[in-house]
Chains A and B, each alone.
Chain A
Amino acid sequence: MSMPFYVAPEQVMKDRADYARKGIARGRSAVAILYRDGILIAAENTSGTLRKVSEIYDRIAFAGVGKYNEFDQLRIAGVRHADLKGYSYSREDVDARSLANAYAQMLGQIFTHEMKPMEVEILVAEVGATSADDQIFHIVYDGSVVDEERFSVIGGDAEAIAARLEEAFQPGLETAGALRAAVGALAGPDRALAPTDLEVAVLSRQNGRRAFRRIEDAELATLLPGV
């Protein structure tokens, strides 16, 4: 009988993390940024049908980067989690924090126990009654959760984008201003992103019960003049 080679646990974890990071780095990035009426989410996405940003519940949105089938599976699980919770208790009892924890549990479990970690990085955003209550949770492939203030970036080039967004960010920006900051940070100094390269949505306090709304086509082009 042949003995399996001993591999140090540190090495196993490092290999898995490298594998997941490589998968995520292949895709394009997404950002979520607080603005006057709530949270704006912008993703670089040339497809008009395969979504990275979606509605989860009345005040909660989801954004994912990395492997499409994996984050889409998480998105659907999130919609189910939220709808079941709202049905069992009340619509008010559905919150982003508990959903972010459920995602973290699942990603952590898969990272340590499964053959392959999920090659995804996701955001769960919730718009509150006032801008002080807005929340963005950033969840990584190994199950770590970060509760972000002001803005959050996911995807391959996250550090550089976050540095650019740090400069452009101001509290209380209007929709157009927040969008320009987000898109400018995604694009970087050497290129411009056209409206067709972008997927944009907002969670706005002005939208009534279902706060999620996509900004598409003509509206997006008006908000991003000269691109």
Chain B
Amino acid sequence: MTLPIFSASDDPGPSFAELLARVRPQPALPDGAPPLTITHGTTVLGVKYADGVVMAGDRRATSGNLIAHKTMEKVFPADRYSGVAIAGAAGPAVEMVKLFQLQLEHYEKVEGQVLSLEGKANQLSSMVRSHLPAAMQGMAVVPIFAGYDLRREVGRLFSYDVTGGRYEELDHIASGSGSLHAGTVVKLGFRDDLTRDAAIDLVVSALYQAADADSATGGPDLIRGIFPVVATITTEGYTRVDDGELRTRVEALVAGGGAR
């Protein structure tokens, strides 16, 4: 590989997506809906709490009526102080996350400073919008974005639609096939300034109920040791909650009758 050098008028600036388009133009999508079944990931959540935000996602990916993967991850760190969770066509969604992570890091390195949280949310918006042609063919990707805004000292949540529309939410968001059920549980259990414990219990319970009512959402699996991906984002940055802690919380939920 030679060094990518551009003339001043053609320089892609700090954008990795622009750079990629210069060096390797993407192939056009075929016309019409794909004749194949595409793997889909489902149900992700974001909830604000006292120290920041908590994000969570179930682990199931489906392909038509088959369960394609039992341990898919849908919640990812975007950078140190933000996370992104995805619902929709799994392949393009994971690729979008990879590009988004790179985009933020690339900007930081080229420009020598980190994008504002608002800037990151807008970047994701333009990535979702540029994915619209694929979404029209049944490969929609609908992410949620959450982060700790170091300038305003507050956790923030953003939801998106397939056209790249970006909406900041005040308390909580959910996306994916089980979002109706999970969202309702969160809505009923939400209070201002939840503690970390209460916020994690709330999202675990919401995903449990979504899995109960939506076949495309996977519940916690105590036998195989598969638990939702849960992460907190605070002044300490993005931290994934470990499986041991989640097992204890799921067991408490089942024992306390909250899993009926």
Query: A residues near B, CB below 8 A?
Result: 51, 54-56, 73-74, 76-81, 83-87, 98, 102-103, 105-106
Contact = CB atoms under 8 A, between A and B. Distances in A.
B150 interface: no
B5 interface: yes
27 contacts: A51-B112, A54-B109, A54-B112, A73-B5, A76-B110, A77-B5, A79-B106, A79-B109, A79-B110, A80-B4, A80-B19, A80-B106, A81-B1, A81-B4, A83-B105, A83-B106, A83-B109, A84-B4, A84-B19, A84-B20, A84-B23, A85-B1, A87-B102, A98-B1, A102-B1, A102-B2, A106-B3
Contacts of A105: 2-3
Contacts of B109: 54-56, 79, 83
B190 interface: no
Interface residues of B, number: 17
B1 A106 contact: no
Interface string B168-196: 00000000000000000000000000000
Contacts of A98: 1
Interface of B: 1-5, 16, 19-20, 23, 98-99, 102, 105-106, 109-110, 112
Nearest to B5: A77
A80 B112 CA distance: 14
Contacts of B4: 77, 80-81, 84
Contacts of B98: 87
Contacts of A51: 112
B207 to A, nearest CB: 28
A76 B3 CA distance: 10
B3 A77 contact: yes
B3 A78 contact: yes
Contacts of A81: 1, 3-4
Nearest to A78: B3
Question: Which of A73, A79, A81, A106 lies at the interface centre, i.e. has the most chain B CB atoms within 10 A of its CB?
Answer: A79
Contact of B20 (A86, A87, A103): A87
A83 B3 contact: no
